[in-house]
Chains A and B, each alone.
Chain A
């Protein structure tokens, strides 16, 4: 059984003349324990798929299933116990006047847990923060530490599916490595299924086993990470994206990579 299933998903914003079709006829499945990546440029609809799944965008049609159960217009508590999300910008997604303890205990309380004390300690330990971080406020944390708190908050209801919306694009590369390693460890420990959105093909290639490429709201290609590494995708847009992400090349390559010296 697949953990997530999307069939002919359409998502739109606005009405009549102003209607924008943000996602068009998207179909894909994510198996249990799999990590699936969505890549594309800004505006291609990759985050919108996640937002529709979590119930943040009500205007959608088609079919979405979580663990075989179809989703309606409302999400119940059981849904949020199964599916949790980590957002892009840890500076924006944590309440500036709630301490780490407050953020975690509120989430645990809402999900009906009793042993909140013990669970907070465990969660902090899981994401590599010591107990000393428990009563800090977001402004007393670095970007990487904040993202760790956001991950702890997402893990609090013990979900089996984690949605990651550009989880490291606001972070420095050295911190990105720490967070990606943490996510890999947590995936193994808790048997998590990941759906990950990123514009960075190298990050998605590191984390995911299958990747869907989106353009203008449509999925143009689904490929395995091996195909992506072998640079053998079929769709010209995927080729273009891969080439662009492999780096900038000057119009005329200087032989032997000699630097251009000053002519002054």
Chain B
């Protein structure tokens, strides 16, 4: 199976007053048409990895890699204009909070239609038809009304579904979802994930699912990368996450309170500086 996305030796650096800070330190991974989870704590570099793939890291931040290949084409060789064709059309990204990623002064319909027309040169009527279909695909009732509404009239769950509709309408090959459900209530979370899961499967897309929620990733993804201070410390099949061996992964799993296994005290993660120093585990580890 040829990989949809291949990342080799990716570094993300930010210059600071105290020297260079490495946010991502030499990670490599491949992705087929599957659901890959990236988990880690805040500051582990998981979001930076997602942004680096789309080349969304702005100066003074620097991205360096042997290559980031999408279908064999190195994204790092592309000009900014070529990159704009990749973003949205071939790789889309869903961010954490719909409140900050939707345009507040544009109706939902106009925003979705804009996303479609930017990449397809379709007429207004066709874009409108596609936008309505897409809203139905993300289970929005009364899409006609939602098309005319503004983002502030939407609930968080609806906003996130609209974001997903907007990101999927140009039919990308790869979707990067950065904490797509952490701003949502648990019951809405399930709905949004189900919709995303179905669409990704139906369209044969690849998915990178960035999250801090280990249980969610274990249940939702096929494969998981665990990141710690800019490195990948462990990769495993998602359904084997609970048998993970790295002490960091074990520590994270054990620090979660569990309904089915009550304890007087929660286990506290003891950090070992060696975790941050050890090299990243490679794609085939």
Residues of chain A whose beta carbon lies under 8 Å from any beta carbon of chain B:
41-42, 143, 172-174, 176-178, 180-181, 184, 199, 201-203, 205-206, 225, 228-229, 240-242, 244-251, 257-264
Contact B190 A244 (CB under 8 A): yes
Distance between Cα atoms of A184 and B186 in the complex (Å): 25
18 A-B pairs with C-beta separation under 8 A:
A41-B187, A172-B212, A173-B41, A173-B256, A174-B251, A174-B252, A174-B269, A181-B266, A202-B259, A242-B259, A245-B259, A247-B215, A250-B197, A257-B239, A260-B201, A261-B34, A264-B1, A264-B2
Q: Does B219 contact A (CB under 8 A)?
A: yes
Q: Does B255 contact A (CB under 8 A)?
A: yes
Q: Does B262 contact A (CB under 8 A)?
A: yes
Q: Does B237 contact A (CB under 8 A)?
A: yes
B residues less than 8 Å from A245 (CB atoms): 186, 259
Contact B216 A248 (CB under 8 A): yes
Contact B4 A173 (CB under 8 A): no
B residues less than 8 Å from A202 (CB atoms): 256-259
Distance between Cα atoms of A264 and B4 in the complex (Å): 9
Contact A262 B1 (CB under 8 A): yes
B21-38 vs A: 1/0 string, CB under 8 Å?
000000000001111000
B residues less than 8 Å from A176 (CB atoms): 255
Contact B189 A244 (CB under 8 A): yes
From the candidates A177, A199, A225, A249, name the one contacting B185 in the complex (CB within 8 A).
Answer: A199
Contact B222 A241 (CB under 8 A): no
Distance between Cα atoms of A48 and B106 in the complex (Å): 32
Known: A229-B259, A248-B220. 18 other contacts (CB 8 A): A41-B185, A41-B187, A174-B252, A174-B269, A203-B257, A205-B257, A205-B259, A206-B257, A206-B266, A241-B187, A244-B187, A245-B259, A247-B215, A248-B194, A251-B194, A251-B197, A259-B238, A261-B34
From the candidates B1, B251, B258, B259, name the one contacting A228 in the complex (CB within 8 A).
Answer: B259
Contact A42 B185 (CB under 8 A): yes
Q: Does B268 contact A (CB under 8 A)?
A: yes
Interface of chain A: mostly helix, strand, loop or mixed: helix
Q: Does B260 contact A (CB under 8 A)?
A: yes
Q: Does B42 contact A (CB under 8 A)?
A: yes
Q: Does B225 contact A (CB under 8 A)?
A: no
A residues less than 8 Å from B269 (CB atoms): 174, 177
B209-252 vs A: 1/0 string, CB under 8 Å?
00010111001101100000000000001110000000000011
- Given contacts A203-B257, A206-B257, A229-B259, whether A249 and B34 have CB atoms under 8 Å apart is no
Top-9 shortest CB links A-B: A206-B257, A262-B32, A177-B255, A177-B266, A174-B269, A259-B222, A41-B185, A172-B41, A262-B33
A residues less than 8 Å from B194 (CB atoms): 248, 250-251
Contact B186 A261 (CB under 8 A): no
Contact A248 B259 (CB under 8 A): no
Q: Does B193 contact A (CB under 8 A)?
A: yes
Distance between Cα atoms of A178 and B33 in the complex (Å): 38
- Given contacts A180-B266, A229-B259, A264-B4, whether A173 and B187 have CB atoms under 8 Å apart is no
Distance between Cα atoms of A250 and B33 in the complex (Å): 17
Contact A178 B222 (CB under 8 A): no
Distance between Cα atoms of A172 and B40 in the complex (Å): 9
Contact A249 B219 (CB under 8 A): yes
Q: Does B141 contact A (CB under 8 A)?
A: no
Q: Does B84 contact A (CB under 8 A)?
A: no
From the candidates B187, B215, B219, B259, name the one contacting A240 in the complex (CB within 8 A).
Answer: B187
Distance between Cα atoms of A249 and B90 in the complex (Å): 28
- Given contacts A177-B269, A199-B185, A248-B216, whether A259 and B223 have CB atoms under 8 Å apart is yes
Q: How close is B176's CB to chain A, nearest CB, in angstroms?
A: 17
Q: Does B78 contact A (CB under 8 A)?
A: no
Q: Does B267 contact A (CB under 8 A)?
A: yes
